[in-house]
C-alpha cells in the first residue's frame, strides 16, 4: 500500500496488460525495482517536538527552476500509451502545481509542444529535457537545439543506459516497439533517420565523458547527470563541471544488481555533498520518503511510475491528483518531524527501522 495504490489499481484496470507491464516492470528478476521502495521502508525518522513556527513551505532552488516543489516529474517514455493527451496532460498538471517536468527524449509528443502546453498554464513553468547522448554528435546537437528553442531550462543526461536493460515482462509480452500510430516525436527528421520519419533512439556503450564534454561545449543550459550511483563517478561529474546529479537506478529497469538510490545517497553526499545539487529518484511513494531523501542530502526527488498511474487513471486530473497528494504529504511529514522546510532536514533525523530501542 502506498499513497498512489488506488490510482495504480485504476490504471491497471484501464491499460492494455502489455502497456501496464512496460510501465510497471523492472529489469531481470526485478530485485532493484523491489528494493527501491523496500529500502525506504527500512528507514525511520526521528521527529523533533514543540518547535513552534508556521506550517512548512517546501520550495527549493534548482538549476533553471527557482522556487520549485521538491518533488519533480521524472522522465518517463511514451505517455500517449497511457492517455490520448499524453505528455500534454502531464505538462499541464506539472505546471499547475509548480512542479518541474523532466520531459523524456522518448516522449510521444515533441518537446516544443510539451513546453508550450506547460507555459499556457504558467508562463514561468520549468521543463527540463532528458537526453540520451547519441553516438552521432550531430544527432545529439540537433536534439539539444530542439530543447533550447522549445524553452527548456536544463538538460538531464541519462548515463545509466549503455544498453537497454533486460525487460523480462516486455519479452514475455512481445512488447518491443511502439504500436502503430505512435512515434518518439523528438526523433523526427534527424540526420541518419528516414526522410520525414523518426530515427531510432540509440543506446550505446561507446558513450563516454568525452561525449559529455562535447555536449557541454555546445550549450549554455545547465546539465544534470541522471543515473549516477558510484561516488567515484560523482567526483568525476564534479570535475567535469556539471550542474547537478540525479542519483538513480532508472527505477530498477537497467542493472538489476544496482543498489537502491536511497541506500547510496549518504555515500554520494559524503563524497561531494554541497558542491552541486544532488537529486534522487526511485521508489519515492510518500512524503516521508521525500523527507528521508532530503535529510540524507538530496535537494529534491523525482517520481516516475505514480505519474503514469495518475495519467492512465484520469489524464491531466489524475496527474494533478498525484502531485497534489505528494505535495500535501510532504508538508504533513515535515510538520510531523518538527521541521519548517528543507533547510532544517539533517541526516541525524534518519535511523534504521528497528534500530534497537535503548541500544
Ligand atoms: C515506463 C518508464 C519509462 C521510463 N523512461 C525513461 C526515459 O525515457 N528516460 C529516463 O531517463 N528515464 C526513464 N525512466 C526512469 C525514470 O526516469 C525514473 O528513474 C524512475 O521511474 C524512478 O523510479 P519510480 O518509477 O520508482 O519513481 C522510465 C521509467 C519508467 C517506469
Ligand atoms: C530504445 C527506446 C528507448 C526508450 C527509453 C525508455 C526508458 O528509458 C525506459 O526505461 O523504458
- Distance from the alpha carbon of residue 272 to the mean position of ligand 1, in angstroms: 24
pLDDT tens readout for residues 260-309? 999 999 999 999 989 999 999 999 999 999 999 999 999 999 999 999 99
Domain around 12: 5-47+61-352
- Distance from the alpha carbon of residue 296 to the mean position of ligand 1, in angstroms: 22
CB distance 32 to ligand 1 below 6 Å = no
- pTM, rounded to two decimals: 0.98
Q: Which ligand is nearest to the CA of 130?
A: 1
Asked if residue 52 belongs to a domain, the reply is no
Asked if residue 82 belongs to a domain, the reply is yes
> Contact at 8 Å (CB) between 71 and 326?
yes
Domains: count for the chain: 1
Q: Is the pLDDT of residue 358 over 80?
A: no
Asked if residue 17 belongs to a domain, the reply is yes
Asked if residue 55 belongs to a domain, the reply is no
Q: Is the pLDDT of residue 216 over 70?
A: yes
CB distance 167 to ligand 1 below 6 Å = no
CATH number of residue 249's parent domain: 3.20.20.70
DSSP code for 188: B
Asked if residue 56 belongs to a domain, the reply is no
Asked if residue 331 belongs to a domain, the reply is yes
C-alpha cell at 188: 523526427
CA distance 322 to 150: 26
Asked if residue 278 belongs to a domain, the reply is yes
CB distance 104 to ligand 1 below 6 Å = yes
- Distance from the alpha carbon of residue 316 to the mean position of ligand 1, in angstroms: 19
Asked if residue 358 belongs to a domain, the reply is no
Nearest CA to ligand 1 atom 1: 23
Amino acid at each position: 500500500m502506498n499513497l498512489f495504490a488506488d490510482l495504480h489499481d485504476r490504471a491497471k484496470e484501464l491499460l492494455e496488460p502489455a502497456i501496464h507491464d512496460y510501465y510497471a516492470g523492472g529489469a531481470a528478476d526485478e530485485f532493484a525495482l523491489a528494493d527501491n521502495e523496500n529500502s525506504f521502508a527500512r528507514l525511520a525518522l526521528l521527529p523533533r517536538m514543540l518547535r513552534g513556527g508556521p506550517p512548512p513551505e517546501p520550495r527549493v532552488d534548482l538549476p533553471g527552476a527557482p522556487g520549485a516543489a521538491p518533488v519533480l516529474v521524472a522522465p518517463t517514455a511514451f505517455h500517449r500509451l497511457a492517455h490520448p493527451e499524453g505528455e500534454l496532460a502531464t505538462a499541464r498538471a506539472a505546471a499547475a502545481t509548480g512542479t518541474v517536468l523532466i520531459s523524456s527524449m522518448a516522449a510521444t509528443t515533441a518537446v516544443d509542444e510539451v513546453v508550450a502546453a506547460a507555459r499556457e498554464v504558467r508562463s514561468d513553468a520549468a521543463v527540463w529535457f532528458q537526453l540520451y547522448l547519441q553516438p552521432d554528435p550531430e544527432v545529439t546537437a540537433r536534439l539539444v537545439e530542439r530543447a533550447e528553442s522549445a524553452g527548456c531550462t536544463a538538460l538531464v543526461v541519462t548515463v545509466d543506459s549503455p544498453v537497454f536493460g533486460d525487460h523480462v515482462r516486455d519479452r514475455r509480452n512481445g512488447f518491443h516497439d511502439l504500436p502503430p500510430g505512435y512515434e518518439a516525436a523528438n526523433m523526427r527528421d534527424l540526420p541518419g533517420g528516414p526522410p520525414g520519419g523518426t530515427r531510432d533512439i540509440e543506446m550505446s556503450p561507446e558513450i563516454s565523458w568525452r561525449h559529455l564534454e562535447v555536449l557541454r561545449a555546445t550549450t549554455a543550459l545547465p546539465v544534470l547527470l541522471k543515473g549516477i550511483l558510484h561516488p567515484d563517478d560523482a567526483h568525476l561529474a564534479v570535475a567535469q563541471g556539471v550542474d547537478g546529479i540525479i542519483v538513480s537506478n532508472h527505477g530498477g529497469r537497467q542493472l538489476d544488481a544496482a543498489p537502491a538510490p536511497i541506500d547510496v545517497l549518504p555515500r554520494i553526499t559524503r563524497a561531494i555533498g554541497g558542491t552541486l545539487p544532488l537529486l534522487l529518484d526511485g521508489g519515492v511513494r510518500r512524503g516521508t520518503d521525500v523527507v528521508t531523501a532530503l535529510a540524507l542530502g538530496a535537494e529534491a526527488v523525482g517520481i516516475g511510475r505514480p505519474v503514469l498511474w495518475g495519467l492512465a487513471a484520469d489524464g491531466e486530473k489524475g496527474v494533478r491528483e498525484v502531485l497534489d497528494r505528494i505535495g500535501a504529504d510532504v508538508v504533513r511529514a515535515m510538520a510531523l518531524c518538527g521541521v519548517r522546510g528543507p533547510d532544517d532536514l539533517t541526516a541525524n533525523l534518519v535511523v534504521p527501522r528497528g534500530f534497537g530501542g535503548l541500544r
